[in-house]
Amino acid sequence: MAGIGNIDLAVLAWFVLWWGGYTYYADTTRRAARSLPAVMRRHREAWMLRLLRREARIVDTTIISAIMRSVSLFASTTIFILAGLLAILGAMDKARALVQDIPFVAEASTGQWELKILLLLVLFIYAFFKFAWSLRQFNYAVVLIGAAPPPDEADTPFARDFARGAADVISGAVLNFNRGMRTYYFGLAALSWFLHPVLFALVTVWVAGVVYRREFRSHTLTLLEGIPAPSDGENP
Does residue 231 lie within any of the structural domains? Answer: no
Range of the domain at 13: 9-25+34-226
Does residue 52 lie within any of the structural domains? Answer: yes
Does residue 103 lie within any of the structural domains? Answer: yes
Q: What is the per-residue pLDDT for 2? A: 53
Does residue 234 lie within any of the structural domains? Answer: no
Structurally, the chain folds into a number of domains equal to 1
Does residue 236 lie within any of the structural domains? Answer: no
The pLDDT of residue 83 is above 60: yes
**135 and 75 Cβ atoms separated by less than 8 Å:** yes
Instruction: Indicate the burial class of 200 (C-beta count within 10 angstroms; 0-12, 13-18, 19 or more).
Output: buried
Does residue 1 lie within any of the structural domains? Answer: no
Segment 105-146, tens digit of pLDDT: 777 777 788 888 999 999 999 999 999 999 999 999 999 999
Does residue 117 lie within any of the structural domains? Answer: yes
Does residue 2 lie within any of the structural domains? Answer: no
